[in-house]
């Protein structure tokens, strides 16, 4: 291998080196195959779906053939059995090549991770466990066998997605299932997913709405009463096609419960890292902004003239600062995803908020600095940097752990122990 090949190899290397971060062999192999899939399949399609704000459904079909739709489905059910951390690292690799596809993939995979490894960690009665295992097999079979795609609409435009109040989308118990009514905004994969994994509140006649009665239902996209409305022409993450979903008297059979009654509430309160899964995409975008800058300043970016700009001290300082930010982001995030578990300590939860905040803010800060450092020719639409910049801007807006909410909780929970008041 000559020096130039070595450089190329470095730029293509995994974000988290297997030896340096002590990854297991199987874990590293899975992450590596995601990285190669991202370079081969996502990268060449990213610009088109971004320009037209269309969903990359053909990529999801290819993910099915590669087994990636089933990455977090237990091996016993025909999946790849990836752990939470392995999934996060694989998703970061996809995020390097197309933020929108990685983010949409997260919505799909989370539905299998939450019902899989995460649910295995939760306290359930013997009956609940048996019911859950039987029902999830149905969903896993659709994904493994037919390549079914699931999405995860929980945002409603009110305080529910931040965890403050019960979801306004309601499921009324009826014979054999539920009658669902409501609205979800920013539903990534709208019009593309086969099933919408909807969070809603079970509410019988005369009952009040309570977060404890949150239900997690898989609603078939073609069920009567489901519609997709509104347009989708956002700043970034355009390929997620996150339009509005309406549910009008939709009948959902009981078997479509993705978790038994009460278990979603238990998950949200005892497995908080479940909400950190939006961050891997943005970890990948942070790395992509850095990689772009190094390749561009070296005069090695495909599609640009081989002009070197690396000899200017100001460029070197900028890259040094970017490297410091990237290493800080990687270190904190890797620690947070490595310690995800049921009933984490207070420090672990605060670290997860800090990691989410850091990844979301730094991905965009790195992209902004990349544009300033590389200069005008680097932000043309023919190159990926301006898309990385726009996509990365969306990270800190993602509920339930927006950058503002992370800061809010970090400040309050660092200064107050549970139950403490000032009076």
Ligand X SMILES: Cc1cc2nc3c(=O)[nH]c(=O)nc-3n(C[C@H](O)[C@H](O)[C@H](O)COP(=O)(O)OP(=O)(O)OC[C@H]3O[C@@H](n4cnc5c(N)ncnc54)[C@H](O)[C@@H]3O)c2cc1C
The answer to whether residues 371 and 389 touch, using CB atoms and an 8 Å cutoff, is yes
Contact between 188 and ligand X per CB under 6 A: yes
Which whole-number Å values give the CA distances from 229 to 82, 194, 243, in the listed order? 35, 17, 6
Q: Is 186 in the site for ligand X (CB under 6 A)?
A: yes
Which CB atom, from 104 or from 384, has the smaller least distance to ligand X?
104
Count of beta carbons in the 10 Å neighbourhood of residue 307:
11
Furthest-apart CA atoms within the chain: distance in Å: 74
Instruction: Report d(CA 183, CA 198) in Å as an integer.
Output: 10
Cβ contacts of 420 within 8 Å, gap of 6 or more: none
Nearby residues of 265 by Cβ (< 8 Å), 6 or more positions away: 211, 212, 213, 214
Q: Which one of residues 157, 230, 375, 411 is an interface residue with ligand X (CB under 6 A)?
A: 157
CA–CA gap between residue 132 and residue 254 (Å, rounded): 12
Q: Which of 209, 295, 399, 410 binds ligand X (CB under 6 A)?
A: 399
Least distance from ligand X to the Cβ atom of residue 120, Å: 24
Residues 27-66 within binding reach of ligand X (CB under 6 A)? none
Is residue 196 a contact residue for ligand X (CB under 6 A)? no
Residue of 258, 180, 279 lying closest to 225 (CA atoms): 180
User: Which tokens hold the place of 45?
Assistant: 């399609």
Cβ closer to ligand X: 148 or 187? 187
How many residues would you count in the chain?
423
Please pick, from the candidates 68, 82, 187, 370, the single residue that binds ligand X as defined by CB under 6 A.
187
Peptide bond into 400 cis (omega under 30): yes
Given 86, 110, 111, 240, the residue binding ligand X (CB under 6 A): 240
- With contacts defined by CB under 6 A, name the span among 73-81, 112-120, 125-133, 181-189 that binds ligand X: 181-189
Could you tell me which stretch among 62-70, 182-190, 244-252, 287-295 binds ligand X (CB under 6 A)? 182-190
| CA-to-CA dists, residue 191 to 220, 257, 325, angstroms | 11, 21, 38
Q: Tell me the closest approach of the beta carbon of residue 131 to ligand X, in angstroms.
A: 26
Verify binding: residue 246, ligand X, rule CB under 6 A.
no
Q: Kindly state the number of chain residues that form the binding site for ligand X, as judged by CB under 6 A.
A: 24
166: contact with ligand X by CB under 6 A: no
Task: Give yes or no for residue 161 binding ligand X (CB under 6 A).
Answer: yes
Q: Please select the residue that binds ligand X; options are 83, 112, 152, 392, rule is CB under 6 A.
A: 152
Those residues with Cβ within 8 angstroms of residue 80's Cβ, 6 or more apart along the chain or in another chain:
30, 67, 68, 70, 71, 72, 73
Query: By C-alpha distance, which of 5, 11, 54, 81 is closest to 234?
Result: 54
Token pair for 106: 């997260």
| CB 101, min distance to ligand X, A | 12
CB of 388 to ligand X, least distance (A): 14
Stretch that binds ligand X, among 124-132, 214-222, 265-273, 399-407 (CB under 6 A): 399-407
389 part of the interface to ligand X, by CB under 6 A: no
Q: Are strands 195-202 and 170-174 parallel, antiparallel or unpaired?
A: parallel
Q: Which is nearer to ligand X, 37 or 401 (CB)?
A: 401
Q: Is the peptide bond before 407 cis (omega within 30 degrees of 0)?
A: no
Kindly state the smallest distance separating residue 155's Cβ from ligand X, in Å: 3
The footprint of ligand X on residues 77-116 (CB under 6 A) is: 107
Binding flag, residue 405, ligand X (CB under 6 A): yes
Q: Which residues bind ligand X (CB under 6 A)?
A: 107, 152-155, 157, 159, 161-162, 164, 186-188, 237, 240, 242, 394, 397-399, 402, 404-405, 408
């Amino acid at each position: 291998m000559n020096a130039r090949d070595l450089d190329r190899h470095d730029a293509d290397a995994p974000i988290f080196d297997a030896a340096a971060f002590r990854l297991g062999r199987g874990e590293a192999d899975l992450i590596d195959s995601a990285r190669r899939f991202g370079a081969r399949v996502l990268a060449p399609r990213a610009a088109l779906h971004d320009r037209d704000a269309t969903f990359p459904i053909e990529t999801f079909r290819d993910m099915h053939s590669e087994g990636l739709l089933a990455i977090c489905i237990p091996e016993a059910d025909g999946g790849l059995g990836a752990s939470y951390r392995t999934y996060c690292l694989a998703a970061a690799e996809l995020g390097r090549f197309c933020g929108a596809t990685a983010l949409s993939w997260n919505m799909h995979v989370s539905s299998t991770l939450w019902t899989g490894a995460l649910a295995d960690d939760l306290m359930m009665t013997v009956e609940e466990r048996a019911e859950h295992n039987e029902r999830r097999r149905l969903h896993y079979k659709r994904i493994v066998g037919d390549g079914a795609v699931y999405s995860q609409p929980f945002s409603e435009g009110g305080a529910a997605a931040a965890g403050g109040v019960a979801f306004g989308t309601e499921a009324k118990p009826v014979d054999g299932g539920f009658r669902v009514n409501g609205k979800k905004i920013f539903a990534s994969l709208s019009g593309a997913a086969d099933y919408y994994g909807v969070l809603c509140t079970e509410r019988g006649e005369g009952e009040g709405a309570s977060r404890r009665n949150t239900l997690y239902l898989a609603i078939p996209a073609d069920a009567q009463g489901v519609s997709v409305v509104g347009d989708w022409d956002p700043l970034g993450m355009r390929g997620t096609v996150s339009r509005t979903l309406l549910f009008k008297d939709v009948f959902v059979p009981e078997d479509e419960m993705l978790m038994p009654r009460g278990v979603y509430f238990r998950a949200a309160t005892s497995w908080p890292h479940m909400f950190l899964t939006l961050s891997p995409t943005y970890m990948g975008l942070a790395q992509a902004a850095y990689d772009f800058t190094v390749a561009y300043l070296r005069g090695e970016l495909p599609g640009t003239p081989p002009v070197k700009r690396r000899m200017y001290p100001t460029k070197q300082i900028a890259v040094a600062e970017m490297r410091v930010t990237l290493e800080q982001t990687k270190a904190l995030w890797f620690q947070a995803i490595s310690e995800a578990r049921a009933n984490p300590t207070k420090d672990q939860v605060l670290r997860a908020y800090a990691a989410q905040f850091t990844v979301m803010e730094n991905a965009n800060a790195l992209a902004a600095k990349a544009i300033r450092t590389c200069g005008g020719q680097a932000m043309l639409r023919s190159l990926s940097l301006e898309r990385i910049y726009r996509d990365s801007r969306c990270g800190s807006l993602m509920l339930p752990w927006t950058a503002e909410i992370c800061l809010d909780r970090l400040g309050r929970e660092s200064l107050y122990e549970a139950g403490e008041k000032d009076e």
